[in-house]
Structure 1
Amino acid sequence: MLAQLRRRAQIYWRLEGPKFVCAAVWLALVAWWFATNWIRFTNMKGVVALFGYWVPFAKGCANVVMFTSMFLFLLVCRTTLTKLRSVRWLHWVPINKHLVWHRWCAYIFLAASAGHTICHCLGTFPTLANDPRARAALKLPPVSQVYLHFISVPGWTGWALVVLLAALAGTSAVAVRRKRYELFWYTHHLFVPIVALLALHGTAALLGPPQAWKYLAVPVALYAIERMLRVHRASWPVRIQAAAVQADTLELVLDRPPFVTHYVPGQYVFLQVPSISPWQWHPISLTSTDADPFLTVRIKKLGDWSHALTQLVEPALVLEDAEAEADKVDAKFNGGKSVVGTVQPPSRQTTAGTADLDATTLLAAPPAAHLREVSGASTARSSLTVSDASLPDSAAGIKTDGGPPVPVLATPRPMSRYMISATGTVKPLAVGTTVDTARRAQRAALALQSIDVRVDGVFGAPSQDFVDHDHIVFIATGVGATPFLAILKDIERQVLAARAPARRSVLFPTSPTTAAHAPTAPPRRVDFYWLNRDQAGFQWMAAALGAVDRRVLRDVVRVHAFLTGARGGQATLSSFLLWWGLALAKRRGAAGKCLLTGVRDSSVSWGRPHWPTIFRQTAALFPGKKVGVFVCGPKQLAREVYEVVREVAAEVVDDGTVFAFAKENF
């Protein structure tokens, strides 16, 4: 029993020790700051005799308010905190928890503010209004409580602070942040008048000289410098090079601004779209790596801002799809001329539902009646090239900037268009596409790039510490997988570079930052557990994993997808049927491969994972190794996984296996 308790205490200290040390030191400083003012005013002649202990307690609370206000600003200086991550002797400090510390500082700030207000309302102000001796001691004329509360500088500034702090704290609740992030963002900028009121609150110097400026000067100046850096970075307009709406997510490929010189996979940026709001900045994880010449993000359509961004991008995507259609047709023929034609059906018609990703269902040959009669041309030919010279004058084309007139179709009726891929497969294009649409689609790139996006960052995140572990376990729900996708890309680059050392300098260049953070060898193994509710997420995840080299997925990475169907009812039934179909396809139609990743050692399961079994197997496979567990998902999932990690780590502590746990926080 004692040995088991010792092991549990050892693991708990290993996982939580730094946090408790920092918390103990910080709370000791808070207590000391309170005690200094309490002792000072208690010993001040006549204060306790006239005001009782109301004034010492109020002044002690005021000291705590000033002290915690410093940390409220310092803990959101993200650029500074990102730099501090590279300081070795600060590795034991839980910088990953900076937003948690920010919230706890806010709680103590609000509690001390409430204590300060109550003491003045119940003790100081009534005494000043009713006791001539107290007024004489402070050299005040006869005053009423109404004057003290709402006209005097300490009174009206105090009540203004109460109102502003109540609004800021109320909109900082988790429910508000998730559903109305914009409201949370705007009300958080009430810190500007709050700082001004704090500095003004003590200028009456009734019980001592003003102190607020001594506490706020440095942290507010540092925060202001970081905000000015954001303004400077926002002066660089970033264009959207490509975009895709996949299920309930929006993927953007952005220009890489010049100030993003290096970054580590797993980090994040802030995005702003001035046409939606010139004030809102939203934290988004990067899915690209430092080796990429661009920045890629994936945004879940949740909330007003993300829906507005999707609505802004979608019209350009319609044109982009039409442009891609025209490009595929033009690429088949010399000269890059616009082509509208018919093809004979292939001898073997492809069918829907095959595992071949290039297979397409052939519906019908395009009706020749939908094409204008062109002299000397026959619709029975395998293709029909329409040039400007072959059209009569009445069929004037559409003029475009820098290009010849584009011919139009004879009728506006829908038409099935076909193209021939490089492999010879006949593919139908979108029904209803006209040559006019294809020509207009040449402006798609300009339409997409005209959307102005601003970037601030890059900022540190917990998952960037994946390089410190031999075995990595990623756990994510839904779009929470985005930081881990960037890490998978970086691991892919490391694995391929390690297999071709002679060509590394040419084919696999490594940036200085990536080289500094990368281990001497790629991780031995990565287990990626992805929990998803419906088919929508399955679609974009399959596309994302499809870009990862199959050799890396086979040798290093194991992907384990779980279709949870947690919402019940029809959603649960749909997810079960989807899993059942995937299981049948894996057994019978896909040579035993997972359709999500295309490799054998990955799987798709229905239901929720049993974490104790998973981590015990992990500990058995990697005895004496460092296992890093990274979670990006709901707080309930993180708490559940953390409890299991702590329990399993206590069981295998004698084997030398070390577990580390981290949760993403923005």
Structure 2
Amino acid sequence: MANSTTSQSPDSHHEKDSNDSNNSNDVKFLTDEEINKFLDDLDHNNDGLIDYSEVEDKLDKVHAEIIGPKALAHHNLHAHDKDSEGDRDNAARHKFLRSIMRSEKNRIPRQEFFSTVKSWEIPSMQQDQANTDAQDEYMRRLGWPRRIRSYLAVHGPELGFLALVVAMQLAFGIWQLVKYLTGEYYTAGFGWGVVLAKTCAGALYPTFFFLVLSMSRYFATFMRRWYYVSRFINWDVSQSFHIRMSCIALALATLHAIGHLGGSFVWGSRKENEPAVGILLGEDKIPRPYIEYVRSLPGFTGITALGLFWLLAGTSMPPVRRWSYEVFQMGHLLMFPILGLLMAHGTAGLFQWPMFGYWLAFPTLLVLVERTVRVFCGFHGIKATLQILDGETVSIKAKIPSERIWKYRAGQYVFLQVPAISRWQWHPFTVSTCIGNEMQLHIKTDGGWTSSLRKLGKEGGGKTDITIGINGPFGAPAQRFNDFSHSIIVGAGIGVTPFSGILADLQERDDMEHNGPTLDVTFSREDKVMDTMTRGRDQRLETINYAKDYRRVDFHWMVRDKNSLVWLSDLLNRVSHSQHWHKEHDDAANERHLDIRIHTHVTQKRKEIVTHVYRWLLEKHRTPEHPASPLTGLLNKTQFGRPDFVRILDTHYEEMKKFKAATMKGEDDQDEEFKIGVFFCGTPMIGEILADRCRLLSARGREDGSKIEYHFMMEVF
């Protein structure tokens, strides 16, 4: 009975406040203690008065701490240039200070300023801790059956695939171990070495198969056509899987060599073991000295392949990659002679029928064809336009030649080569938008090669024509994204960029179909401040007639630091701008088609109350001239602290019930299942909460007759 109570309690978490996730009643504002602590930091001389200079000085310090030395264009409060632009920004800065002080006086009594601070409605620092505690409490109160189901929803398929790989390694390794350990003449002729070498060889068969197969991006792209196959074989972590398998293969290959060089070759060359050797290899093979084993086809191919394997591993180390990417890439070309030597290694068939070549043939052919295509793509240049967007981002636009057989889509990725930088370097980047045959990439310039790309743009005056090589496209996450008219996307870090590209592409197509602003048009400085966080309240659901193709996407993006938001601000702002335009014009026609709601969350905690308060003030400060946040550069509001996804999903469920009631009037429509896709990439705990919540809300939909279903999709962006 107790267990039953435990399993039910999380379902009622925040139930009473589920009508509006943005309702001010849900937010705990600064406590009196926090406000007094903030005022103590401002009132340096303890005279009971808050000076304008004290507020300004603290703003300067906090601004320097948060923004850092590399302030971008949207950080418009702290320009001290002597030109007219600098004067305007200084005026904006002082206007900001006066707006938060709400007085033209230079000295304000502490109690009066206390009331002013309280009116700012800054969330308490305890709010984030409360959300963190709520998440921990939610997981603690889950019954074990639900916790296991949630864990398996996040990790299950990947663990299943890893179990398959390990099982195959063990199966073939044990098979070889038993065969050579129990064989009548194997240990008599070649001793312990043949058992060790052949056991490792058995495990190497599936290891090398999956190792080489993980290098084929075309194969992964093709297999993404089947969602459940992609869930079982997580192609998105193929790089980390490839590295782990390489380490295992190198260890097994080294042990295999030790078994032969230190064991079987020594035993096989001894005179007393010649009878057993003759039975296994043939009478014409004895006597056989140690050097003959080394000179044999299996001997020299194995030793050479192992040496090249260690050389490849050395050139793959992170310090080498940072030192010279060309050395890193050229080192990886050693895999082709290694694979050729390994195929030849077992062809002598000394102990058993040669099978290693058959394990390697299929994946090697895939990789060989893929790399050959990449070489040809490198010499088939495409004209493109390189443009510097801001201090951290550049974009590349190109028209894909009509002879390319693959269809390019937003959210996929391509390998990009710029011969003006290096003909031999290829780097993967996400396709931001692709309409027709015109493709656009957004690139964060925080590395050596990307910095060279920015330098190339500067040499062309900020916008220049270049020649590029494109290899791809390759598989994108969320293959089932288009299966749902309503979706929730939850992601963390810069790895969520494929979905930002999908959103931008959706928005541009909507603009083209419904005469909206194009994404190439920069938003006007006179536009109103756009708040995609607070749109879509309940009353709008009741008063607006939605188009038949209405689609809603809730995009939740969590980053630890606000700088992770900056480089995609241009892309997201263009989506926000179009959404604002459609809100004004589509509502006038009483019809909506695409509704994208962008929610960004900065989870980094600030220990100092002054930093916490000023961070919120900077985020909330918007003007007609600067509608974007001075802090993040985004038009949408950014929340600080961990989001409460229990409340977010509960609120979404209530809104979907009202949406369904407003748009599906007939009995047949009401009886139809209403499916919502929840796509997630992030920390396991949040994934487990989302998986459990999706299951509970789907059960609630069956119980109350709304038939709303939430389908949890684990992704790696």
| 2:441 corresponds to 1:304 | no
Change over 3 Å in CA distance of 1:543–1:158 after alignment to 2: closer
How many Å apart are 1:574 and its aligned residue?
8.4
How far apart are residue 453 of structure 1 and its match?
0.9
Match in the other structure for 1:550: 579
Contact 2:444 2:567 in 1 (8 A): no
Provide, for residues 505-554 of structure 1, a one-character-per-residue CA deviation record: whole Å limited to 9, x for no partner: xxxxxxxxxxxxxxx94543322325373569537504642355124885
1:572-591 aligned within 5 A:
577=614, 579-585=616-622
- Of 238-247 and 12-21, more deviation after overlay is shown by 12-21
Q: 1:226 aligns with which of 354, 364, 370?
A: 370
What corresponds to 1:294 in structure 2? 438
- Tell me which amino acid in the other structure corresponds to 1:216: L
Which of these residues, 538, 545, 552, is aligned with residue 524 of structure 1? Answer: 552
Please tell me whether residue 465 in structure 1 is matched to residue 486 in structure 2: no
Q: Does 1:662 align with 2:715?
A: yes
- 5 Å matches for 1:498-509? none
Decide whether the 8 Å contact of 2:216 with 2:366 is kept in 1.
Answer: yes
The Cα of 1:90 is off from its aligned counterpart by: 4.4
In the alignment, the residues of structure 2 paired with residue 611 and residue 179 of structure 1 have an alpha-carbon distance, to the nearest angstrom, of: 43
Change (3 A) 1:539 1:207: closer
CA 536–215 in structure 1, closer or farther in 2 if over 3 Å, else same: closer
Q: Which residue does 2:170 correspond to in 1?
A: 31
Give 3-state SS (helix, strand or coil) of 1:186's partner.
helix
Change (3 A) 1:43 1:564: closer
1:340-392: per-residue Cα shift (whole Å, max 9, x none)?
xxxxxxxxxxxxxxxxxxxxxxxxxxxxxxxxxxxxxxxxxxxxxxxxxxxxx
Counterpart of 2:334 in structure 1 is: 190
Does the alignment pair 1:603 with 2:637?
Answer: yes
Give structure 1 stretches of 5+ with no counterpart: 321-447, 502-519, 632-636
Structure 1 partner of 2:397: 253
The answer as to whether partners of 1:11 and 1:650 remain within 8 angstroms in 2 is no
Matched, 1:317 2:461: yes
Which amino acid is the alignment partner of residue 500 of structure 2?
L
Pick aligned residue for 2:687 from 629, 639, 642 = 642
1:614 to 1:315, Cα distance in 2 relative to 1, 3 A: same
- In the alignment, what sits opposite 2:600? 561
Question: What does residue 215 of structure 1 align with?
Answer: 359
Matches within 5 A, 1:385-464: 448-449=464-465, 451-464=466-479
Q: 1:120 aligns with which of 256, 260, 263?
A: 260
Match of 1:511 in 2: none
1:270 corresponds to: 415
Residue 592 to residue 658, structure 1, CA distance change in 2 (3 Å):
same
CA distance in 1 between counterparts of 2:348 and 2:628 reads 81
CA-CA distance at 1:107 after TM superposition: 4.3
- The number of residues matched between the two structures is 505
Q: Give 1:388's aligned residue.
A: none
For each residue in 1:601-643, what CA deviation from the matched residue of structure 2 results, as whole angstroms up to 9, or x when unmatched? x412345545565556556655875342243xxxxx5445434
Letter of the structure 1 residue corresponding to residue 559 of structure 2: L
For the 8 Å contact 2:197–2:255, the answer to whether it is kept is yes
Partner Cα distance (1:661, 1:225) in 2 = 31
Return the offset for 1:583: 1.0
Tell me if 1:629 matches 2:682.
no
Q: Relative contact order: is structure 1 or structure 2 higher (C-alpha 8 Å, sep ≥ 6)?
A: 2
Change (3 A) 1:114 1:589: closer
**Structure 1's 619 and 60: CA in aligned 2 closer, same or farther, altered over 3 A?**
farther
Q: In structure 2, give the amino acid aligned to 1:558.
A: R
Q: What is the CA deviation profile of residues 157-191 of structure 1, one whole-angstrom value per residue up to 9, with x for unaligned ones?
A: 43443333334345556787688755543332221
* Deviation of the 1:454 alpha carbon: 0.2
Distance 1:38 1:220 in 2: 27
One-letter amino acid of the structure 2 residue matched with residue 119 of structure 1:
G
Deviation readout 1:551-588 (Å, 9 max, x if unpaired): 4885722222345668x899x99897465223133799
Structure with more of its chain in helix, by fraction = 2
What amino acid is the match of 1:284? F
Give aligned-pair identity as a percent: 25
Map of 1:541 onto structure 2: 569
Residues 182, 305 of structure 1: 8 Å contact kept: no
The residue type paired with residue 217 of structure 2 is R
SS of alignment partner, residue 67 of structure 1: helix
Normalising by structure 2, we get a TM-score of: 0.60
Post-superposition offset of 1:113:
1.9
CA distance in 2, matches of 1:233, 1:278: 11
Q: Which residue in the other structure is 1:6 paired with?
A: 145
The one-letter amino acid paired with 1:626 is: I
1:248–1:537 Cα contact (<8 Å) kept? no
Q: Give the structure 2 partner of residue 241 of structure 1.
A: 385
Of the structure 1 ranges 265-274 and 119-128, higher mean CA displacement relative to structure 2 is found in: 119-128
CA gap of 1:123–1:626, structure 2 versus 1, over 3 A, is farther
Deviations, residues 12-34 of structure 1 (Å, cap 9, x unaligned): 44444433443444443333333
* 1:183-205 CA-partner distances (Å, limit 9, x unpaired): 54333222122113313433555
User: What does residue 284 of structure 1 align with?
Assistant: 429
Query: CA 1:167/1:576 → structure 2, altered by over 3 Å: closer, same or farther?
Result: farther
- Rounded Cα–Cα distance in structure 2 between residues aligned with 1:529 and 1:274: 35
Tell me the equivalent position of 1:73.
Answer: 212
Change in Cα spacing, 1:91 to 1:546, as seen in structure 2 (3 Å) is: closer
